[in-house]
Amino acid sequence: MRDDGKAGAIRRTDARAGTACTSISTAATAHPPLTPAGLPPSIAGLRRLLRQGDLTVEQALARQRAALRQDAWHCVVEVAEAAPAVVLDVPLAATPDAAPAVMPDPSRAVVPAASMPLAGVGLAHKDIFVFGTHVPACGVGEPPAGWVPTGESTVLARLAAAGSLPLAWLGMAPYACGATAENEGGSVMRNPLDSAAAVGGSSSGSAVAVAAGLCYGALGTDTAGSVRMPAATCGLIGMKTTAGLLPDEGVVPLAPSLDTVGVLARCSADALDILAATLTRDQARILHERHAAACHSPLRLAACFVHANADFLLTPDVAAALDTFAAEMAAVPRAGINGQRELQRLADIVLHAEAATTHGTALRGALPLPRAVRHLALAGAALPPAWYADARQQRAAHREAFLRDALGEADLLLVPALPAGVPDARAVTTTSPDFQPRQLLAMFSWMPFVNYLGLPAVVLPIARDDRGRPICVQAIARPHMEGTLLAFASRVEQQRPDAFSSLTSFKQNNETCLN
Amino acid sequence: MELFVDPVSSAPQSSPCSQVIDACAVAWTLDRQGIRATEAECHSVAKFLRRVAPPGATDVRTRESPFLANPGERP
């Protein structure tokens, strides 16, 4: 074994890239970069290393855990304890459909066998999942008052069955309520791309940890953009899944009919691997089939960059980047999304009403709630039930109309992610003297209606602005077309590699995530 | 304003509530659920409700609104 246990001391030969990495200290030079753990930046690269025998799974995990402990971005809430050398060898054929039957006791740390699909792949997650004895702190220290978990997270159990136990729990906006990383009770999280730039929320720690290279991927939850916004601010792939695709068991809710578990990763291949491991075997097969099909046939794209609310105009740099991108992709322009304001209104009603239910115990008991959460829940409690019932009742018809009118013949609809790009943190922090409410509102102007419609969407970087911050696009698809979305992301990666790779050092490596 | 602390018990019969979705209506609705809110919070919630109200529902007398579902109970 050639790993002496010191960060950056590993020596490997990357056969595919035809290059050799000697240490993390050389990452800033001509050598391909490594993560802060001194490991390849992609899951594929890590697998090669493990296969070659230069590193064991246990060593890989130990190095990633050590990197998470040295978190300089204030994104880590808690690092899971080091695993004892107990090898768990779960037959691949038994996962993930049979995950509950083959799951180890998650409170017992294990080292997965190298044959498992995610063995050695360090994942850390938004601190909103129940797993083993872990009770999620939800950004405030404890789950909502009155919330009783029905069991541990099925999604995390599936990842564990694929060989990836959580390495750490990551910071988030209080109770998943916030478009940024702002958290009165937590440390100020820093964007690894630019310390003055905002970090989107509410899965902010997930985005920061992945962008900083502290883990290969992270799960978050997306109720009104909470995976896509943080991903967009950190130049990552942010996948919001189809409503109901991933089980919500063991996930603290905000608004259950809008909540979806999502994946943040540095590249589409990593996102595909992680997402596949969270699915049942049949779902994973369909994901891969649709991904393969979309990789080998032209995608029909439509694009709509005009919001029905004139307050959410694109800034010139974002407009130019999106227009150029749409032209290159031969996307058919759409004048607008019919009923976009109505969709936004209905999404607002559902979000507030369901958040009121989630936090009803705290509201009635006059228990303290973070300001933004209380505001959301109070408004929901005052909503006429008939409005909520009406919003739920209209949902299917609106989805049908959107698929017919906005998507039409297209496979994907391209819309903006952040219409004004990545704002300064001070402009979207409510306690800052430089706070500009419109900039905060703009961040999620293109997000909640997707949750209301229950559709899958992915954000991905397509360019960088003159400050080096990512400019992202959002692609929306029909239900259960996550494979198509990730195939599209893969194409963009190949065409625009400079837009990807959230770590500055990773930018030097063309093979970063394209393998 | 005491009205917002305990609107049901302290609001006078000649309530200052207008016939639109306002802070008073919010306070009353929340109070009915055992939820206390400050005046500022009620104003903020009322503003939100007006924004998301279905067409024709900004008047509390409309059938869609529960505020006058039992008009006799309204402060």
Q: What is the ipTM metric for this complex?
A: 0.84
pLDDT at position A410 is 98
Give the one of A345, A348, A385 whose C-beta lies nearest to B66's C-beta.
A385
DSSP A478-504: STT-HHHHHHHHHHHHHH-GGG--SST
For residue A325, pLDDT beyond 60: yes
Summarised one tens digit per residue, pLDDT across range A32-80 is 589 999 999 999 999 999 999 999 999 999 999 999 999 999 999 999 8
Dihedral angle over CA of A14, A19, A23, A26, nearest 10: -150
Distance CA A373, CA A190 (A): 22
- Catalytic machinery residues of A: 126, 202, 226
Cβ-based neighbour number of residue A433 at 10 Å: 6
The answer to whether residue A494 scores a pLDDT higher than 70 is yes
Confidence (pLDDT) at A189: 95
Q: Per the CB < 8 Å rule, is A378 touching B54?
A: no
Cis peptide before A368 (omega within 30 of 0): no
Picking from A374, A382, A386, the nearest residue to B49 by CB comes out as A382
Report the alpha-carbon distance of residue A110 to residue A115 in Å, rounded: 14
Checking if the pLDDT of A106 tops 80, the result is: no
Q: Which range has the worst mean pLDDT, A14-28, A171-185, A288-302, A474-488?
A: A14-28
Given a cut of 60, whether residue A163 has pLDDT beyond it is: yes
Q: Is A378 in Cβ contact with B29 (below 8 Å)?
A: no
Q: Which of B36, B47, B52 to mutate to test the interface with A (most CBs of A within 10 A)?
A: B52
Residue A329 · residue A410 · CB < 8 Å: no
pLDDT of residue A115: 86
Per-residue pLDDT, averaged over B24-50, amounts to 90
Closest CA in chain B for residue A383? B49
Cβ–Cβ below 8 Å for A387 and B29: no
Radius of gyration of chain B (CA): 11
CB pairs under 8 A between A and B: 54
The pLDDT value given to residue A82: 57
pLDDT in tens, A360-394: 999 999 999 999 999 999 999 999 888 999 999 99
Q: How far is A354 from chain B (nearest CA, A)?
A: 15
Best residue in B4, B48, B60, B74 to probe A by mutation, most A CBs within 10 Å?
A: B48
Place of tokens 């107990």: A86
Is the Cβ pair B44, A383 closer than 8 Å?
A: no
Q: Are B22 and B46 in contact (CB under 8 A)?
A: yes
* Residues A71-83: tens digit of each pLDDT: 999 999 999 875 4
- What would the DSSP string read from start to end of A333-346? E-S--TTHHHHHHH
DSSP A349-409: HHHHHHHHHHTHHHHHTT----HHHHHHHHHHHHS-HHHHHHHHHTHHHHHHHHIIIIITT
Please report, as a single letter, which amino acid is at residue B45.
V
Q: Residue A482: pLDDT above 90?
A: yes
Alpha carbon A420 to its chain centroid, in Å, reads: 20
pLDDT averaged over every residue in chain A:
87
Q: Which of these, A210, A224, A186, lies nearest to A370 by C-alpha position?
A: A186
Q: Give the pair of three-digit tokens for residue A407.
A: 């998507």
Closest CA–CA distance from residue A381 to any residue of chain B (Å): 7
CB contact under 8 A, A382 and B34: no
Does B64 contact A352 at a Cβ distance shorter than 8 Å?
Answer: no
pTM given for the model: 0.87
% of chain A at pLDDT higher than 70: 85
For residue A435, the 8-state DSSP code is -
Please name the member of B26, B34, B57 whose beta carbon is closest to the beta carbon of A382. Answer: B26
pLDDT band at A8; cut points 50, 70, 90:
very low
DSSP B71: G
Can you say how many angstroms the Cα of residue A159 is from the centroid of all Cα atoms in its chain? 15
Closest to A151 measured CA to CA, from A67, A251, A68: A251
